[in-house]
């Protein structure tokens, strides 16, 4: 009994310390915004990501040292789980603590964790209506207090020490935008109010006020990005109330927000009320709780498998040289594992590929890099694996798979939201859709460059189109930092035969990049290339890339707005 109670308490102590650190890093986001410390904000975000694994590893090491029996007797864990449930009653982060328990238990139990007696296969503690030491959100009542006064109280409630550039002007802008969004025929209901989450959402160079407008049974987003001038003064950049704009702001292709949450489930519930199409998986991930997102995703996958009949199969399209990709057609995700051997001319190693994916996880994705869920030892029902896929797995990745009973176990896998590859999209798109996608393709490359990311392989098959029409990069085996690249012009041919040769007549070092040679990667069609060059011709000019590199080297951070320019208040466009 002493071992059971000791293990249960040690796991909860490990989680509580993890979440304490998680909140410290999240709070640091606000301080970094106040001080325009963009590098510090990036560092806090990266530290918060790796902090989970560090705490799990420390907890496992402590258990193996203090309670070695827990690593030898699997049956103890059924009792440990029951003891943990009792300790989680009233815990403000119970769902995340259950996930932390699972992470520790899976390290201790090896394959025995498939048994739901030992782990939280389903949540045991309800997190509905949990309240912390103070309310999750504040309510404002324009009908009685006046709209302008409420807006003033909202934007000044977060205690930012920065001077406002022109607060009176910004309140007028917000008031006009809110009234304009109501449209004709709008009528205030008795419950008309604006509810605002208690903490700022910080990311990149912005701090966001996140709330909702409640009127009758309608709930609309109310999001105000706060930006900073070079002199440290701040201003409201726009008001976002459209579902599409908010969906892009909380997109899976952007970095995680730094926001301090005492009760994360309450924040997720609030956000889902203004983004009903977003799953709880997406929302937990956007709040920086990726491990909780992974737990919820795996439960969704298992639920879907119980209510579907189609098989996992090879993903359609051009096969990758490094990754083996498969999908379940009825499920909106793709599953990617690293091949044992790579097709020529790829020369990267397996460890380098994993490093690239970790780079993306820690980096600001600026809306152009797809987020991934990374799993180890994932079990799939063998009967749901298409024979062609199983044959491909056995041929291309035999060291990553194992058949255990009626399950196919994959030792390491990445899961991404499914998108339509850009090359396939363009092949079927109409004239207007094609033009927009070509322009978006160039915008994606620009945004990535501004975030210090060089895609490496810029073939259109490595970019996808989201349901909102945005172009996102998702093939990471060749990405690197812009600052690691040497952008050069192609030297003039020495003689006529040089120009006709397939072999360069000039020396090429490992990190050399020749933007003038990008043309074939972009568009073979003269019509498509003409559209591309109209907006993005400088992407084939090494001078442009070197200017971007110089700016990054100086410590500048590009302004990449997660909303359309037309949404910005007029003085900022």
Catalytic residue among 170, 237, 282, 371: 371
- Cα→Cα distances 164→151, 169, 233, 571, Å: 14, 10, 5, 15
Residue 333 C-beta-side C-alpha neighbours within 13 Å: 18
Structure tokens at 444: 């994606």
CA distance 376 to 389: 19
DSSP string covering 144-202 = HH-HHHHHHHHHHTT---SPBS-HHHHHHHHHHHHHHHH-TT----TT-EEEEESS-EE
Q: Which of 524, 510, 509, 519 is nearest to 541 (CA)?
A: 519
CA distance 465 to 451: 20
In our burial notation (b when 16+ CB lie closer than 10 A, e otherwise), range 326-346 reads bbbeebebbbbbbbeebeeeb
Structure tokens at 398: 């035999």
Whether the Cβ atoms of residue 406 and residue 381 lie closer than 8 Å to each other? yes
Residue 571 sits at the vertex; the CA angle it makes with 253 and 547, to the nearest 5 degrees, is: 55
406 part of the active site: no
Which helix (DSSP H) or strand (DSSP E) does residue 408 occupy? strand 407-417
How are the residues of the chain apportioned to helix, strand and coil, as percentages rounded to the nearest 5? 50, 15, 35
Q: What are phi and psi of 295, to 5 degrees?
A: -60, -45
- Cα→Cα distances 338→258, 350, 376, 459, Å: 31, 7, 12, 19
Beta bridge partners of 407: 381, 404
Residue 189 C-beta-side C-alpha neighbours within 13 Å: 12
Gap between the terminal Cα atoms of the chain = 66
Whether the Cβ atoms of residue 572 and residue 502 lie closer than 8 Å to each other? no
Beta bridge partners of 238: 568
Put residue 129 in one of left, alpha, beta given phi > 0 → left and psi -120 to 50 → alpha.
Answer: left
CA distance 183 to 170: 21
- Cα→Cα distances 426→259, 369, 474, 517, Å: 38, 20, 17, 22
Residues tagged active-site = 371
């Amino acid at each position: 009994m002493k071992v059971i109670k000791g293990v249960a308490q040690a796991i909860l102590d490990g989680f509580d310390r993890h979440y304490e650190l998680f909140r410290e890093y999240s709070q640091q986001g606000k301080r970094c915004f106040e001080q325009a410390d963009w590098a510090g904000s990036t560092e806090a975000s990266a530290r918060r990501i790796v902090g989970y694994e560090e705490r799990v590893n420390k907890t496992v090491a402590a258990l193996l040292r203090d309670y070695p029996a827990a690593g030898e007797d699997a049956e103890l864990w059924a009792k440990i789980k029951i003891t943990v449930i009792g300790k989680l009653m009233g815990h403000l982060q119970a769902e995340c603590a259950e996930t932390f328990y699972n992470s520790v238990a899976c390290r201790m139990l090896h394959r025995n964790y498939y048994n739901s007696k030992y782990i939280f296969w389903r949540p045991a503690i309800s997190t509905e209506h949990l309240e912390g030491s103070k309310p999750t959100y504040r309510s404002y009542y324009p009908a009685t207090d006046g709209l302008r006064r409420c807006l003033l109280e909202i934007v000044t409630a977060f205690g930012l020490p920065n001077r406002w550039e022109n607060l009176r002007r910004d309140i007028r802008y917000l008031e006009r935008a809110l009234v304009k969004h109501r449209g004709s025929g709008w009528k205030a209901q008795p419950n008309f109010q604006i509810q605002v989450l208690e903490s700022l959402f910080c990311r990149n160079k912005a701090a966001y006020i996140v709330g909702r407008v409640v009127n009758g049974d309608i709930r609309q987003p109310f999001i105000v990005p706060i930006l900073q001038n070079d002199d440290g003064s701040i201003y409201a950049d726009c008001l976002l109330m459209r579902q599409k704009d908010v969906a892009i702001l909380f997109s899976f292709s952007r970095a995680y927000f730094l926001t301090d949450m005492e009760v994360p489930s309450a924040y997720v519930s609030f956000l889902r009320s203004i983004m009903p199409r977003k799953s709880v998986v997406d929302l937990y991930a956007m709040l920086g709780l990726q491990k909780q997102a992974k737990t919820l995703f795996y439960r969704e996958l298992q639920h879907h498998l119980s209510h579907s009949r189609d098989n996992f199969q090879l993903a359609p399209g051009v096969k990758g040289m490094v990754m083996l990709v498969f999908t379940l057609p009825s499920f909106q995700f793709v599953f990617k594992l690293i091949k044992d051997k790579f097709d020529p001319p790829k020369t990267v190693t397996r460890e380098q590929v994993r490093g690239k994916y970790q780079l993306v996880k820690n980096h600001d994705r600026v809306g152009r890099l797809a987020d991934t869920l990374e799993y180890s030892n994932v079990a799939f029902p063998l009967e749901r694996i298409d024979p062609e896929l199983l044959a491909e797995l056995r041929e291309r990745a035999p060291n990553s798979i194992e058949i255990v009973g009626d399950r196919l176990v994959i030792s390491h896998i990445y899961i991404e939201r499914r998108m339509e590859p850009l090359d396939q999209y363009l092949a079927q798109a109409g004239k207007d859709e094609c033009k927009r996608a070509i322009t978006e393709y160039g915008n994606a490359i620009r945004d990535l460059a501004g975030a210090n990311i060089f895609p490496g392989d810029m073939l259109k098959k490595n970019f996808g189109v989201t349901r909102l029409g945005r172009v996102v990069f998702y093939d990471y085996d060749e990405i690197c930092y812009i600052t690691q690249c040497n952008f050069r012009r192609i030297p003039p041919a020495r003689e006529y035969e040089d120009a006709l040769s397939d072999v360069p007549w000039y020396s090429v070092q490992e990190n050399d990049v020749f933007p003038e040679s990008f043309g074939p990667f972009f568009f073979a069609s003269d019509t498509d290339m003409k559209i591309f060059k109209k907006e993005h011709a400088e992407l084939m000019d090494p001078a442009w890339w070197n200017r971007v590199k110089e700016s990054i080297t100086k410590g500048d951070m590009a302004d990449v707005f997660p909303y359309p320019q037309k949404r910005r208040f007029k003085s900022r466009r």
